[in-house]
Each structure stands twice: as structure tokens, then as C-alpha cells.
Amino acid sequence: MNATKFVRAGIRHGRLWNLARCSAFPSGSKFQAFRSLSTTRPAAFAASNIPETLAAADEGGFSLFEKTPLIIELTQILLEKVHDGSMLGTMAPDGLAWWAAIAGTTIAARLLVVTPLSIYQQRLIKRQNELRQVMEAWQPALRSSLMMKLKEQKKKLSEEEFLKQLNKAVMKKQSKVMMKQGCHPFFSILLSMSQIPIWVSLSVALRHLCGAAVPFFDGPHTSFVPAQGMSSEGILWFNDLLLTDSTMALPLTVFAVQMGNVLLMHWRIRRQIMFLSIFYSSLSTSQQRLCFTGPFQRHLA
């Protein structure tokens, strides 16, 4: 549909764009059918080639890459080496079944890559919270500095505008300090985003090993042969790894585990907040009793 609209728009303007000059469309994609059309040819000639052009453009899917990315190829080779045992040495000279190779590679990636990144991210978050407490202590000084600056400039602001200026100054100072200390919130986002290529490459490599092409990663005419043993080296009820899970047990299990983790974390946070609120309320109540009843008790004594 998009290719059809594109061709018709080109005809209305009397010419078609030469997409061969645009490097955004790799070879093998459906837009390469337009390469034979020149920008100087009349619209009548282009109209005579519309059926063939659209037929070639609508074949298969669209790929973002001219060939499979290197990280996906390396991940696929890694899985194959773990399966045949060449990467395990004496631990498993005969190799592992595909289910064990997939699970072992995933766990190893989690322990060796994701876990250190998560620990470092937690340390960054802890340092950020400590610096935020310091910035709260600096807020009166920033307020005085802003008031002196406005007084020198002879500006009068409303309370709302003054608070906006103060918050802007606090955020600017906080960002500068966190960047200097190496714990800017942007670093935490980068750490989270750095895990995405690992899981995407694992998913695409497993699809290739199962003989399936992946949209946006593989061209329209790309085909893969299933790896040997994929149809018989499963476990439990999914012995054939080339078939979809008709019972939906695996997706539902993953969903239940993820939701359980979220609910457990939410419950722990609520419990901590409730404990702290009870503690501080009881502490403030005891302080009030000491302040108000203490003099009367001494007077009665």
C-alpha cells in the first residue's frame, strides 16, 4: 500500500524519484524495483511500468539491514558452539541438547552481562538519592542567591514564577553535580538500554536456528534451514522446538513470573513505607508526650 501511494504521487508530479541514490533503502528490499526508473523520463513511460513495479515492490517484507548484523551472527555461532560442545570442553564433550544450550546461554548472559550492569545501576541510583538529599540542603542557599540576583536586576516576580525559577536553578545545579560525580540519570537509562541488543540478538538468532526469517532483520528472499536436532531436542511437553506452544503455557508462565516480581516489589515498598510512617508517627507522639506532660509531671512531683 505504501509503495502504491509512492508511485502514484510520483506520477502526479510528472516524474519518479530515483531511489537508488538514497542509501536508506538497502539492496534486496521492495523499493529496489524503482531503480530502473529515471528522474528524467516522462510520466507516460513510468505509467506503462506501474504493474511490474508494484508487483516487484510488494514481494516479501522490508529489511532495515543489507545483511544480517554481526552481533546476531556471532550469537548464532555461540549457540551452535554450546550445542555441539566445542565451547564447553571437558564439561560436556558430547555437547548439550538444544533446550539446555538455549537455557544455559541465557543464564550465562544474565549472570555475566546483565547482573553486573544491574548492580552498577543500583549503585548509581543510590548515589543519585544521596546527592538529591544534598541538593535539598542547598535549596535555601539557592533561594537566597536567586533573590539577590532578582534584586540586582530589579525584577519583580510572582510567587509562582519565583518557584519556577527556583526549581529550574535547583534542577540545573543538580544535573551539573550529578554529571560531575558520574551518576547522571541519563547513565542509568543507557545501562538499561544496553541490555536490549543482547536479548534482541538472542531472539533473532533462535528464530534463524528454527528456520524462520525475522521481519526488518532479513530480506524478503532470505531463507534459513532449521538446525539439526531442533525438532527433537526439546523438553517436557515441547519436545519439538520448531512448533508453537499450543497450550500457551510458556508465555503465561513468563507473564505470571514477571507480574509476581512486580507485585512482590510493590508489596515490599508499601510495607517499608507503612513501617516508616508508623515509626515516625509513634516517635512524634512520644516526643509530644514528653514535651507536654513532662513539665506537669515535674510540677506534680
With respect to residue 253, please indicate whether it lies within any of the assigned structural domains.
yes
In a domain, 119, yes or no: yes
Given a cut of 50, whether residue 105 has pLDDT beyond it is yes
Reply yes or no on whether the pLDDT at 142 is more than 60.
Answer: yes
Q: 159 and 264 in one domain? A: no
Mean pLDDT for the chain overall: 69
Do both 259 and 184 map to the same domain? no
Say if 32 falls within a structural domain.
yes
Among 3, 30, 6, CA closest to 16: 6
| 253 and 275, same domain (yes or no) | yes
Q: Is the dihedral of CA 241, 99, 216, 187 positive or negative?
A: positive
Judge if 192 and 169 occupy the same domain: yes
Check whether 98 has a pLDDT greater than 70: yes
CA distance 192 to 110: 13
Answer yes or no: is 213 within a domain.
Answer: no
In this prediction, residue 144 has a pLDDT band, given cuts at 50, 70 and 90, of confident
pLDDT greater than 70 at residue 63: no
Q: Distances in Å between the alpha carbon of 113 and those of 173, 191, 195, 244, 261?
A: 33, 11, 8, 29, 21
For residues 194 and 126, membership in a common domain is answered with: yes
Is residue 48 located within the same domain as residue 111?
no
27 and 100 share one domain = no
Q: 238: which strand partners?
A: 235
List beta partners, residue 63. Answer: 216
Q: What is the pLDDT of residue 168?
A: 82
Residues 83 and 146 in one domain: yes
Are residues 75 and 181 both part of a single domain? yes
Q: Work out the percent of the chain whose per-residue pLDDT is above 70.
A: 66
Q: Give the per-residue pLDDT at 298.
A: 43
Range of the domain at 46: 2-57
For residues 93 and 187, membership in a common domain is answered with yes
- Domain annotation covers residue 121: yes
- For residue 240, tell me if it sits in a domain: no
Last residue of a domain, one of 198, 222, 239: 198
Asked if the structure places residue 63 within a domain, the reply is: no
pLDDT for position 281? 58
**Residues 96 and 175 reside in one and the same domain:** yes
* pLDDT for 272: 66
Number of compact structural domains in the chain: 3
Task: Identify whether residues 85 and 183 lie together within a single domain.
Answer: yes
Q: Is the pLDDT of residue 71 over 80?
A: yes
- Domain membership of residue 145 (yes or no) is yes
